[in-house]
Amino acid sequence: MNPSKRKVFVGQALLTLAFAAGLSGPIAAQSGPTIAIRVYNYKTGKQVVPSNFVINLDHSDEIENQSLKIDEDGVGRVTLPANASVISIQATYSDSTLFYSGCDVDKRASGKRQWYAISEILKTGIVAANKCDKGKYEGKAHLTAVAGEFVFFVTKGMNLDMQQ
């Protein structure tokens, strides 16, 4: 084989390998279950339409928003890896530059996130606690969650502790 044809052949072989490796990535990842996420104002119980959600899995700081989609009503849907066991969710506003303060974490628990079992969300759904304002509005909204759904309460205002 002459040198110029060999270069073309090697280039084509490398391109084929790169393409095959790219195709095998998503196949190996094997997506798991999808959950729906709804957010409500802690005081009024009215649904909030966030700019974005920040999804963390299995006590990791790595953000897992690759499969996240938010509809016009503000309901987020995220497909999780099949091996994920717990999830922490935060919501943002002002084009994702500010975080809502989640009401599921005691404000004295500086830097803490609340983690939820994905298996429980899938089996029964979860409505997170509303601890804002010392729980004064807990139960006021009478919200329920269906299997595969996570519902939580927020208050507007950046809480730096929630970002740690």
Spatial distance between the Cα atoms of 82 and 32, rounded to a whole number of angstroms: 4
Count of domains observed in the chain: 1
Residue range(s) defining the domain that contains residue 62: 30-163
CA-to-CA dists, residue 6 to 9, 13, 16, angstroms: 5, 10, 15
pLDDT of 73 higher than 80: yes
Spatial distance between the Cα atoms of 18 and 81, rounded to a whole number of angstroms: 24
pLDDT category of residue 86 using cuts at 50, 70 and 90: very high
The answer as to whether 129 is a domain residue is yes
Residue percentage of the chain with pLDDT more than 70 = 73
Please state the length of the chain.
164
CATH code, 136: 2.60.40
pTM summary value: 0.75
The answer as to whether 5 is a domain residue is no
- The structure tokens listed for 73 are 């009503």
pLDDT category of residue 8 using cuts at 50, 70 and 90: very low
Spatial distance between the Cα atoms of 67 and 84, rounded to a whole number of angstroms: 14
What confidence tens digit (pLDDT) does each residue in 14-41 have? 434 444 444 433 433 458 999 999 999 9
Amino acid at position 10, single letter: V
**For residue 109, what pLDDT is reported?**
56
27-31, 89-93, 94-98 — most confident range: 89-93
The answer as to whether 14 is a domain residue is no
CB 132 within 8 A of CB 138: no
